[in-house]
Amino acid sequence: MKMRAAVLEEFGEPLEVQEVELAEPRAGEVLVRLHACGVCHTDLYTASGADPSGYAPTVLGHEGAGVVEAVGPDVGSLAPGDHVVTLFSPQCRECIHCRDERTNLCLAIREEQNKGHLPDGTTRISRAGEEIRSFMGCSTFAEYTVMPEIALAKVSPDAPFEHACLFACGLSTGLGAAINTAAVRPGSSCAVFGAGMVGLGAVAGCRLQGAERIICVDLSPQRLELARGQGATDLIEGGEGAVERILELTGGFGADYTFEATGNVAVMREAVEAARMGWGLCTVAGVAGRGETLDVVPRLLITGRRIAGSSFGGVKGRDQVPVLVDRYLAGEIDLDPFVSHRIGLDEVNRGFELMEAQDGIRSVIELV
């Protein structure tokens, strides 16, 4: 079938919306009609050429939501008409990682996915016979996509697509960092560095876990107010003195849990320094630049602080994303403030511009 998609032809150049070919789903694969897709920083990171593992040509996008149109052979958990959220972090439910509660890093298709291929080592997108690779196994800057069954979460049809797509990446990453990775305890103190999509999700996750004090740090007063709406009890403008202010608010000890959601290694260090001596846990969810390292004074660790990394918030996508969506539908999470701009596929490059200008939290491409 023919479809319109936003293709990354060359790194550092605008995406080109054009007509491409999409092949039918093969065994274990599903054809999805996409309705909405968030414009995530990871897409911009790859488009810029900064990602050492990036490739082109490819159809970018990974934060999608839509409806199943058709299924290939051997697909048992999905059927036409099902509403789904795309998962760059799949869940086969069979590999050693999927069977272990300690991680969500499924091993089933990781090697081929990293190459821009579907599990059989090929792609379904092409143009005049030229292969176009699948970005993060998703390629959702398009009208349709073909994805593995194990990389789609079936969600309630009551969830609006513009909100459901947020659970495909940033929102679940933040929520899961607090709920899964850190497992925040009721009555505890938390400090979240960064009030973008991931940070705001972490604030909401800390609230859902019953944290008593939730401190949010960001350079933007507007974003800090959004954090208040998600449950932050204290707001700190980022920069010099932020760590000292957190220590003041926590009796001089530091927060029980800290979260880094900026990708800035200097902020990561601040998040470690702001964690409580004795048992403080710093969860790093931001993605640092190529070649950057985290400089931490070892004594901070010797005196009881710990550092944990969190990919997709430790969320096992097929099992847990539907639960998070249900919690949103139950009124536990307010997503209206997250959708800052609604744009069409032809405006995808404007979505990148808005992101670079830090204009709002998320631009969502409406595809239907």
Residue 285's contacts (CB-CB under 8 Å, 6 or more residues apart) are 173, 174, 177, 181, 198, 202, 259, 260, 261, 309, 310, 313
Compute the distance between CA of residue 322 and CA of residue 327 in angstroms, rounded to an integer.
Answer: 9
Residue 110's contacts (CB-CB under 8 Å, 6 or more residues apart) are none
- 31 by Cβ neighbours in 10 Å (0-12 / 13-18 / 19+) ranks as buried
Compute the distance between CA of residue 14 and CA of residue 19 in angstroms, rounded to an integer.
Answer: 16
For the annotated catalytic residues, the residue numbers are: 40-42, 62-63, 92, 95, 98, 106, 110, 169, 362
- Hey, how many other C-beta atoms are within 10 angstroms of the C-beta on 11? 14
Compute the distance between CA of residue 326 and CA of residue 110 in angstroms, rounded to an integer.
Answer: 28
CA distances from 87 to 31, 141, 251 (A): 14, 14, 41
Compute the distance between CA of residue 345 and CA of residue 60 in angstroms, rounded to an integer.
Answer: 12
- Hey, how many other C-beta atoms are within 10 angstroms of the C-beta on 256? 23
Element containing residue 266 per DSSP (H, E): helix 265-273
Compute the distance between CA of residue 124 and CA of residue 131 in angstroms, rounded to an integer.
Answer: 8
Residue 200 near residue 206 (C-beta atoms within 8 A): no
Residue 311 near residue 136 (C-beta atoms within 8 A): no
Closest to 207 (Cα-Cα) out of 323, 332, 310: 332
Radius of gyration of the chain (CA): 20
